[in-house]
Copies of this chain bind each other. A is one copy, B any other.
Amino acid sequence: MKNNPKLKEMTLAEAVRVHGRTNGSRSPLTLFWTGSGIEVNLTGTELWIEVEADYETYEPWISVLLNGAPISRQMLTAGRYWICLFRGMSAGSVKHVRLLKDIQAMSEDPDALLQIHALRFDGDLLPVADKPLKIEFVGDSITSGEGAIGAREEMDWIPVWFSAVHNYTALTAEALNADYRVLSQSGWGVLTSWDNNPRNRMPRIYDQVCGLLSGRRNEELGALEPNDFRSWQPDAVIVNLGTNDEGAFHNAGWQDPATGERRKKRLNEDGSYNEEDLGTVEQAIERFLELIRSRNPRARIVWVYGMLGLGLMPAIYRAVDAYGKRTGDRNVSVFQLPNMTEETVGSRVHPGRLAHERAARELAGYLRGILPRAGGGSGSGR
């Protein structure tokens, strides 16, 4: 029936699992990062969520997985309204529903917003169990799934081409039966962004809930507040950074608008990396490892790299090595991911769905070898 009289409305109860760093509020729940969202076990026939979306430029997109299978993906235009996730199902049986924010936190759009205010459903919410493993991913556009959807010729930088579903993060977590969080931003690096801007580095905002956001609303929403690391301690932190730091060697320099100071990672005349500038990248890697370790004392830290070239791999190995030697921390390693090929390229000359599937297969295999509680067989397939 079109109008189900049994529907009841409530804010996000305890039984609803929340994924991703939050400001602590569930009323409403603000979704900052890509891959963040909610997970629900419901015995009822119908489920709606009340969302609120806003933006100046970059509108949010969401995906819904029902019993593990992706069933919908849609743009959320500005406003506060109800969306139906499913209806007409049999009463009694448990439906497992997962809603994900499909796009990254948008550092360039202070008005970007995605919130979930409430649920409307019949039947009962049952608890969603923790998975036996927790993984945190930190990265750039690759980790944001930029290019994992859309035609190859697409070149506009817009949200539609981002996917949190056909993404090596989600696929790796699925293969290992892990809960996961993602922190990522296109163009950012460990020392600077692709255009040599030193503000646009992930370590700078690692301690905050979602520190790359700007604007008063995001501040009021707590995006800049310290993250509560104790509440979610991952078994592994996967850092996929370096691709934009490498790009910065080849791109124009950046001038600080305040001081006029110029920043530029330099190439030698023979095209090799300037050693001094390479050294600053390595120091940035070391410092980030220290920071991650201080916040995640028991996590395996894996620096992954290679889906868009291997240029900085020796520097990454040196830095991880130096960090390990200096600190005695043996719980850190490096893993090379398969490079994108002509066969696996997606939109925006970024890794496509097939590239993410290959990366997930290799990474899941690696993690299975080093994480005692990693689950599953050999597949990362969906």
Q: A71-B149, A151-B68, A365-B339 are in contact. Are A77 and B88 (CB under 8 A)?
A: no
A129 to chain B, nearest CB (A): 18
Residues of B within 8 A of A252 (CB): none
| Contact pick for A55, options B2, B55, B57, B154, CB 8 Å | B2
Residues in B with CB closer than 8 Å to A159 are: 88
Q: Which residues of B contact A320 (CB under 8 A)?
A: 314
Q: Is the interface of A mostly helix, strand, loop or mixed?
A: loop
Contact of A321 among B68, B318, B334, B369 (CB under 8 A): B318
Q: CA of A151 to CA of B65 in the docked complex: distance in angstroms?
A: 9
Copies in the complex: 4
Q: Quick one: which of A74, A153, A334 has the most chain B CB within 10 A?
A: A74
Closest B-chain residue to A316, C-beta based? B317
Closest to A3 in B: B78
Whether A88 contacts B158 by the Cβ 8 Å rule is yes
Q: Contact size class for A?
A: 35 or more
Q: Is A130 an interface residue, CB under 8 A from the partner?
A: no
A2 touching B56 in the complex, CB below 8 Å, given contacts A67-B154, A151-B67, A321-B318: yes
Q: Please tell me which one of the listed residues B71, B306, B343 contacts residue A378 in the complex, with CB atoms under 8 A apart.
A: B343
Instruction: Fill in one digit per residue for A120-145: 1 if any B CB lies within 8 Å of its CB, else 0.
Output: 00000000000000000000000000
A86 pairs with B160, CB closer than 8 A: yes
Chain B nearest CB: distance from A64 CB in Å?
A: 9
Chain B residues with CB under 8 A of A272: 330
Minimum C-beta distance from A94 to chain B (A): 11
- Does B69 contact A151, Cβ atoms closer than 8 Å? yes
Interface: A341 (CB within 8 A)? yes
**Contact status A84-B75, CB under 8 Å:** yes
In this complex, what residue of B is CB-closest to A85? B75
Chain A residues 326 to 343 lying within 8 A of chain B, measured CB to CB, are 330, 333-336, 338-339, 341-343
- Check A261 for interface membership: any CB of B closer than 8 A: no
